[in-house]
Structure formats: C-alpha cells, structure tokens
Structure 1
Amino acid sequence: MIKSEGKMMNDKKQRHEDRSGKLQAKTGNIIFNTINYIVFISFTLLCMFPFYYIFINTISDNSLVRAGKINFLPKGIHLGNYIALFGINDLSTSFWVTLTRTIVATALMVFASGFVGYLVTKKKMWARRIWYRMLIISMYFNAGLIPWYLNMSMLGLTNRFAAYIIPAIVAPYNIILVKTYIESIPAELEESAKIDGAGYFVIFRKIIWPLSKPILATIAIFGAVGNWNSFTDSLILMQSNFSLYTLQHRLYIYLNSSSNLKALMQSGGVISQSMIDNQLNSKVISYTISMITAIPILLVYPFMQRYFEKGIMMGAVKG
C-alpha cells in the first residue's frame, strides 16, 4: 500500500515536471518566434522603404517633391508623371529598346544554356572536358574593359542592337547550373527514348526541356534582371547611336545632369531659372524612371519564385 502511494506520488511529480518543462519550452518558443518576427519584419520594411519613398514622390504634387516635403505619405496624388514620361520620345524609345533586349537576349540565353548544358553531360561529345573547362575558366578570367571594347569594335558591334544580344547568349554560370540539374534527371528516361530511335535533339526537346523548367526559369530570372538593369554596354558601345540607349542609360544621364546642376548651385555659380527648373524636373523624372525600371522585375518575380527556389537548389554547383 505504501509502495503504491509512493509510486502515485512519483507519477504525479513526474507529470508535473513534464508539464513545467513543456510550458517552459512553449514560452521559450513564443519568445524566440516573436523576436524573429520583429527582426525580419523590421528588415523587410527597411528594404521596402526606398521603393516606397521613390513611389510616393512620383505620384505626389511635383512642387512638394521639389521642396522635399514628401517623406512618408503622398500628397496631391496624380499619375501625370508616368503619363508624361512616355510622351518623351527618347524615354519611350529607351523603354522599348530595353524591353526588346531583355526578351530576345533572355530567350536566346535560356535556349543556349539549356542545350549546351545538356550537351556537356554527354560523354560522346567531342573534347567535352576541354570545352567545359574553357567555360569555367571564362568565369574567373577576362581581358578587361579596354580589350573588350576593342574586340566589340573589331567585330562591328558598336552602335548596333546586336551588341546587346550576341554577348549575352553564352552564360557560363547558367550553363553549369543547367548541367548539374540535368545530371539529376534519371538516365533511364533518356535510354528508353534512345531505344525508340530518338536523337539528341528530340530527347532534349521532348524530355530534358520539359523536365528542366525549374532551372530554366531560374536562369531566365538571372538573365532578365541582368539585361533589364544593364547600362554599361549602352554607355560604352552606343556613343553615336542615341536611339539605342537603354532605360538605365537614360536614368544615368538624368541623374548625372541633376548632380552637375546641383554642384553648380552649391558652388555659387551663375545659373538661370530655366537651369534650376531643369534640375528640379530631372529629379522628378529620375524618380519616375527608377520606378519604371524596378516595377517589371517586382511584378515578374512572384510568379517565378516557386521555380526559382526549386531550380536554384537542385541546380546548385556541387563540389
């Protein structure tokens, strides 16, 4: 009887200790999760604020923007800046140049990366190891800016739209990602197609390409963002062809002219009212162009995110 009562007391004590331990663990988890949410929400807001600040300045009254009175909330909301922006010939032209470049160069890069990535997985490919090593070497070594410009000039790619497309077709890093991903696809699928008489191109088109959508979507994001945001090639190669300036190049021009006028004002130089007005207009235009350059990527990424996450993990470079 005494032993039974002792056992019952021990069982109660053990259950009490278990409940206390679970309560403490639950409290610790709540505190940890709360701190995590606070930190990550704060970090997200800090990352989003620059976009929000630029956006509210583009839709607010321009006189208030010029006076620097728009900080947290928009005032005098309107969409006139966006409408007027596309009325400027050089900006609308630059927008279509950038859009066309992004679509064409990205599409060709994705196809080339997919097909070359598939070919370098084939042991029968002539000098496969040499070509693959050359791809890897090109990621780490380059001749520099001046030799690159001289090479583009000798190839006749200056002041031509092809200068945006041809160099972007071969992307070594993307080829490596695709190669690694394709190697994870079961070899039995390809072998069964070979038995049915399918060649490499048919296998690639009907089996490899559909199964590689996650990694292809991933490199498509890389290519689209890179082409959309690029302006160095436009700055260096399109010096005599203003109609081929990219949107980022136009933004650079407006930012540069705005900074020059501001420096002149601060140095006490003699400037006219029209120059001041141009400087102020450049500020508003710069904000608006910045939003136009950022919005397409922000709209596309959510739809590609599920492919991006899967592709970047399965196509990660292995040691």
Structure 2
Amino acid sequence: MARVKQSVSPAMRRTPGERVYNIFNIIFLSLFALICTYPFYYLIINSLSDNSAAAAGEVTLWIQGFHLENYKTVLGLDGMATAAWISVARTVIGTALTVMASAYLGFMFTQQKMWHRSFWYRFVVITMYFNAGLIPMFITMKNLGLTNNFWVYVLPAVVQPFNIILVKTYIESIPASLQEAAEVDGANTLTVFGRIVLPMCTPILATVAIFSAVGQWNSFQDTLIYMTDSKLYSLQYLLYTYINQASSIANSVKASGTVNAAMLATAATPTAVRMTVSVIVVLPIMFVYPFFQRFFVKGMMLGAVKG
C-alpha cells in the first residue's frame, strides 16, 4: 500500500531562527502599539478621574475616583453646540464634495479624449508645490465674499491634487477593456464613470474620505484667519481657545455661586479642562476610522503603485 503523505503546516516547517524572529517581531510591535495608544488612554483616564489626583500626576494606569463632571463642564461651555454642528457639517459636506471631485477628476485625467488632458493635469499637480501665501489667500477669499461664510470651510478644500493623483493611479490599474466593452455597448463617458469605474473605486475613495474627514475635523486655522462671527466658529477652534483659557475657565466655575458650580468645583481645574477637551477632539475620528480601515491599506497600495 502506498504511503499517504501527511501535510505539514507552514508553522511546523519554520526554522528556529524564524521562530525567534516572529517572537521578537510580535513583542516589538506590541510594545510599539502600546506606545502609540497610551497617550490616548492617558487622556481618557485623567479626564474621568478625580481632578486633584489628575492635577498631581497620580493617574497613570487606572481611573481614580470615576466621575463625568468634566464632560458636563466642557460641554456646557458657551457656543459648544453651535461649534459642534459647524464642525460636523463641514466634515460631512467637505468630505462628500472632495471625494466626488477627486473621483471625477481622477477619472477624466485617464481619458485620452479629454481636451488638453496633459495640460490640465499638470496645471492641477503644480499647485501642490506653489502657494501664493496667507495674505493673497485672505484677499482672494474676501473678494469672493467667503470671509465670515460657512463655505470658506468647504470650497477651498474640494480639489486636492494629492487625492486626484491617488484616484487617477488607481483607475489606471483597472483593465481598460471594461470601458471599451461598455463604449461598444453604447455607454457614454458619464455612464462608464458612474456604473463601471465608480463602483470599483471603493477602496481608494474610502482612503480619500479618511484624509478629507480628518483634515476637516481637525482644522482650526481657517476659522482663525477668515472668521470673526462667533456663530461660525468650528469646534476645534473653540476648544483651542478653551485650552488656552483653561485656568480662567476653572477659576470662573469655582467662583460661581450656584449649587451646580459647587458640585463642579473639583472638576474645574486647568488639567481637567485640557484633558477633557483633548478627548472630545480625538474621539469622533477614532470612532469613524475603524469603519474605513479595511479599505484604507488596500486603497493606499493600489492607489500608489500602478498595477
């Protein structure tokens, strides 16, 4: 009778050197991940701990004296609801428009029949390397009527050359025979884009969406430059001012004569305000990113190297 060969798993065929390397690799990456995540963990546990202990630097690993009064204090500050709405609106609208513009322009720059395609592509790419500067940009926005206008958050960021390059490179990796077959069946350029190319670009568009959403959510300099109307302040700018004014906020809450303020007296410390504000800034993006993570690596790899 013929002997039946038993299959050996790849793990069993590894040499001692490979096993040592794998163990070292796992330990190193675990420590690296811990180093990356600990600052966020430190912010969270300090914002939820007893404020006197946090101010003294005694909270390092575990929550001490759990409470939520810090978040009640910060979220109750003037203008927080309006600023949060502005930030959410600019992030959603800005991300949607940026993804649409990047997808369409990236597709059009792959079409040989586009009028002066090479010229327009170079015209867009060259803006990555040259900038008129802050003052000319401000004058331009003012002449366009975009100062103290919500759309100044959205319109200047719609066309992003880097995102267009990623999408263009990704689309070039899609077999051209798909578009040719659709055109033989009578599909025009917009039909090919909407029904064939766009559904296949989910990974790279998710990558562009992450870049745009993070940029929009974290931006505060445009508020500093273009806005004087407090009703249009973004959440990041408002929290930035509150971080700089943490001591005065703590003192004003302590000096308040209401019963509620007395309850918040221990919560209203400069350290508590800074930690809580930082957590409020970071958490929304941390919750959004996992939903796009499975597309992110694939989109970056396929969008960076033509296959």
Determine the structure 1 residue equivalent to 2:3.
none
Per the alignment, do residues 282 and 251 of structure 1 end up closer, same or farther by CA in structure 2, a change over 3 Å counting? Answer: farther
User: RCO (CA 8 Å, sep 6+): is it higher in 1 or 2?
Assistant: 2
The alpha carbon displacement at 1:26 in A equals: 2.9
Tell me by how many angstroms 1:255 deviates: 2.2
Where does residue 100 of structure 2 map in the other structure?
Answer: 111
Residue type of the partner of 2:277?
I
User: Cα offset for 1:282?
Assistant: 4.2
Q: Which amino acid aligns with 2:243?
A: L
Q: Give the C-alpha shift of residue 25 in structure 1.
A: 6.8
Percent identity among equivalent residues?
48
Query: What corresponds to 1:244 in structure 2?
Result: 232
- Mapped contact 2:70–2:268 kept (Cα < 8 A): no
- Return 5+ residue gaps in structure 2 as ranges: 1-11, 257-264
Give 1:53 deviation, angstroms.
Answer: 0.8
1:274-289 equivalences in 2 (<5 Å): 274=255, 281-289=269-277
Provide the C-alpha distance between the structure 1 equivalents of 2:97 and 2:269, rounded to a whole number of angstroms.
38
| 1:290 paired to 2:278 | yes
Number of the residue aligned with 2:198: 209
Residue 66 of structure 1 and its aligned partner are, at CA, apart by: 3.4
Distance in 1, matches of 2:186 and 2:266, equals 68
Q: Does residue 227 in structure 1 map to residue 227 in structure 2? A: no
Q: 2:43: which partner in 1?
A: 54
Distance 1:69 1:274 in 2: 26
Q: Cα offset for 1:61? A: 2.1
Task: Look up the match of 1:311.
Answer: 299
After superposition, residues 163-202 of structure 1 pair within 5 angstroms as 163-202=152-191
Find the aligned partners of 1:281 and 1:220 in 2 and give their Cα distance: 37
Q: How far apart are the structure 2 equivalents of 1:133 and 1:312?
A: 22
Offset at residue 24 of structure 1 (A): 12
| Per-residue deviation, 1:143 | 1.0
Distance 1:142 1:278, change over 3 A: farther
**Equivalent residue, structure 1, for 2:242:** 254
1:55-70 equivalence runs, <5 A: 55-70=44-59
Residues 230 and 260 from structure 1, CA distance in 2 versus in 1: closer, same or farther, beyond 3 angstroms?
same
Contact preservation (8 Å) 2:249, 2:268: no
SS in 2 for 1:92: helix
Question: Quick one: distance in 2 between partners of 1:149 and 1:178?
Answer: 30
Residue 202 of structure 1, CA deviation: 1.4
> Which of 140, 152, 177 is equivalent to 2:129?
140
1:315 match: secondary structure: helix
- The equivalent position to 1:76 in structure 2, one of 65, 75, 78, is 65
Per-residue CA deviation, residues 173-219 of structure 1 (Å, 9 max, x unaligned), is: 10111111111111111112112221111111111110111110010
CA contact (8 A) 1:61 1:76 kept: yes
Work out whether residues 158 and 237 of structure 1, in 8 Å CA contact, stay in contact via their aligned partners in 2.
yes
1:120 to 105, 109, 125: 109
Taking a change above 3 Å as real, the CA distance of residues 24 and 207 of structure 1, as seen in their structure-2 partners, is: closer
RMSD of Structure 2 on Structure 1 (CA): 2.7
Partners of 2:247 and 2:126 in 1: CA distance: 40
2:276 partner SS: helix
The offset of 1:317, in angstroms, is: 5.3
Q: Answer with 1 or 2: which has the greater Rg.
A: 1
Q: Distance in 2 between matches of 1:169 and 1:44?
A: 33
Q: What are the equivalent positions in structure 2 for 1:33-44 lying under 5 Å apart?
A: 33-44=22-33
Superposition deviation, residue 99 in structure 1: 0.9
Q: Secondary structure at the match of 1:81?
A: helix
Structure 1 pair 168–66 and aligned structure 2 pair: CA distance change class (3 A): same
Residue 153 (structure 1) aligns with:
142
Q: Give unmatched runs, 5+ long, in structure 1.
A: 1-22, 263-272
